Structure 1
Amino acid sequence: MMRRYFQCLADRDAPAALRLCTELVEAGRSPVDVLLDVVAPAQHEVGRRWAAGEWTVAHEHAATAISESVAIALGARIPQPDPARGHVVLACAEREWHGLPARLVGFALQEAGWRTTFLGASTPPTQFARFLDDADADAVAISCSVAAALPAARRMIDASRETGLPVLVGGGAFGRDDTRAKALGATAWAPDARAAVRALESIAPPPAGPSVNRRAGIDEHAELVLRFAEFRDSARRRWAAVIGEDAATPLADDALDHALHSLSAALLTDDSRLLREADEWLSELYSARGGPSCAVPALWSALRAVVGEPLPEASRHLGLLRQVGRSAPRLI
């Protein structure tokens, strides 16, 4: 069924997509099951096609718009809980523009008896904090799929803790376990929407006090943010010395930003796996789009050469890349 739905997205046939999902619900499947077992996997395939260079950004946006409209239509079929188990405010961290996963979590929570308020994509932390002051919420859920948004997620977690609310987090940027969630002060982490329902049932209000222990990486994260443009320019020059004009393309711009943001997030969470994930993603991206095979390892080497002296923790994280997996022989 997911394949049929994905074909509707590929054909940009919104009526057919909605009709297919509606028929599944009318045949007895719950709206949440259709959203999580049909719509969500199809969206994952949409992202894979874009990353492989098979679809343009415009194609991806068109497909996502269809899935969002389908999600809203099916969500309207989920009864509002009366009485509700509590009120959950859901938001995407600032710079996180993928709002559909958080919306699906919200519908799963609603089906489980929670009243939900979804604030949408890329919610500024200051505006989020002001909203919590008047929201009468019982818990907060924060979605983050890109490493560049983790610093903003941390500020949202802090704002939630200051109001005494437990914080549930999820999304690809948090990885495959609760390591990063704990490092940023979240109460709980969930890998998917169904797990989010179970996690919310068990979390308690967070303890008082600062959410993040003071570490060298925290200070280096702050310095990297302040000197981002400087490090970016220096790394580009070193990178260009290896791969030439290929360092001046839009793909190279995106790769350089992604690598720096991943390094920043690794410092913030003390989790070097963020760099490993970035390395794998960038390598697949360059391979799919015909980029030079030396581009990604040369990028990491350039970054380490630039940040190594002023940011020793950053250099340590980058050094770990050569100790595991397929990145090992490529870095210096």
Structure 2
Amino acid sequence: MTATTTQTDFLELIGDGDEYAAIEMVLGLLDDGVPPQRILVDLIGGAQAQVGALWAADEWSIAREHAATAVSERVVSAIAARTTARPTRGRVTIACVDGEWHALPVRILAEMLRLDGWRTDFLGASVPGPHLVTHLHQTGPDAVALSCMLATRLPRAHAAITACRSAGIPVIAGGRGFGPGGRYAQHLGADAWAAGAEEAVERLAADWPPPMRDPQISAFLGDDEYTYVVRHRPALIGTAMGRLAADYPAVRHYDQRQLDATAEDMGHIVDFLAAALYVSEAKIFTDFVAWTREVLAARGVPPAALRAGLLLVRGQLRDYPAALAVIDAGRAEVAQ
């Protein structure tokens, strides 16, 4: 059986919610001598990437995606129960930043680090910053691994990174929320960034801890425009929704579910705009707009709807030049 066939079979099992067959398949691979690291990264991680793509293409529902992810999490637990590794290195705290709910990637990271000899404290999804810091004072780890998959969580990631480093604990960051190549991670004060679980294992094993910079160097980000957008988020969304029918008449025929989804999308526009302003990086917003354009197209929503939403938010920010520039960059993405 080829690796491609194996992943296809595994994807089918988790897509059907067949927990028992998925676990049986993975335990069989372990019995055949396949390293658990390869199963975690290539099989489970690879299948999860496909799950996300299937949802984005509107081929899988959110419910099916959630069910498949839950099965994958139980498969990871089965691997953990079958494999043993005594700690020979140090201790690592692993967590998702506050508001980040994509926990499977860091669950895989926790197992990869455990297999490499680290004592791991896996704190899971959406860990509030104060609780994370309390845990650090109680346990005194050698490192903190923080995951951020959505750029809208960057302000909270920054707060967590600053708090960890102020407590004297270096931080390795991961997740696509930190941008291509982790370009925002260092800007927010992280001591290192890793593109995936394997790279994180290598970084922690080879050159850890890195020299720590003064945590105050990157302690202050966000300006008046960012603050305005965050504080006026409800009004920006509410006003845009109230005016949407005039600019995009098709919305008059939406049912309540469609209206709720549209309001959620309007909230994403405001949130990604705020994130872009926070780190002064328009690419956060343009990447979001390009991705949203593709997702909406898969759901039969024309680009005109997205253009209308961008313009309605823009019209409320005429006195904020940086925000206008970011939105205009996003509008250019829709025009392509």
Find out whether 1:317 has 2:326 as its counterpart.
yes
Answer whether contact 1:176 1:191 (CA < 8 A) is retained. Answer: no
Look up the SS of the partner of 1:189 in the other structure. Answer: strand
> Measured at CA, do residues 308 and 105 of structure 1 come closer, stay the same or move farther in structure 2, by a change above 3 Å?
farther
Answer whether contact 1:99 1:120 (CA < 8 A) is retained. Answer: yes
CA distance in 1, matches of 2:159, 2:15: 38
Gaps of 5+ in 2: 1-5
Spell out the pairing of 1:1-332 with structure 2 (5 A cutoff): 1-82=6-87, 84-200=88-204, 201-203=206-208, 204-212=210-218, 214=220, 217-244=222-249, 246=251, 249-309=259-319, 311-322=320-331, 326-327=333-334, 329=335
Percent identity (aligned): 34
Q: Shift in Å at residue 168 of structure 1?
A: 0.8
Q: Shift in Å at residue 212 of structure 1?
A: 2.2
Q: TM-score, normalised by structure 1?
A: 0.91
Answer whether contact 1:183 1:270 (CA < 8 A) is retained. Answer: no
RMSD (Å), alpha carbons: 2.0
Structure 1 residue ranges (4+ consecutive) displaced by more than 6 angstroms after TM superposition: none
Answer whether contact 1:165 1:206 (CA < 8 A) is retained. Answer: no
Q: Shift in Å at residue 131 of structure 1?
A: 1.2
- Match for 1:281: what amino acid? W
Q: TM-score, normalised by structure 2?
A: 0.90
> Measured at CA, do residues 89 and 245 of structure 1 come closer, stay the same or move farther in structure 2, by a change above 3 Å?
same
Answer whether contact 1:78 1:110 (CA < 8 A) is retained. Answer: no
Gaps of 5+ in 1: none
CA distance in 1, matches of 2:189, 2:197: 20
Q: Shift in Å at residue 199 of structure 1?
A: 2.5
CA distance in 2, matches of 1:251, 1:6: 28
Answer whether contact 2:162 2:215 (CA < 8 A) is retained. Answer: no
Look up the SS of the partner of 1:294 in the other structure. Answer: helix
CA distance in 2, matches of 1:99, 1:202: 26
CA distance in 2, matches of 1:23, 1:119: 29
Determine the structure 1 residue equivalent to 2:3.
none
CA distance in 2, matches of 1:321, 1:258: 13
> Measured at CA, do residues 209 and 59 of structure 1 come closer, stay the same or move farther in structure 2, by a change above 3 Å?
closer
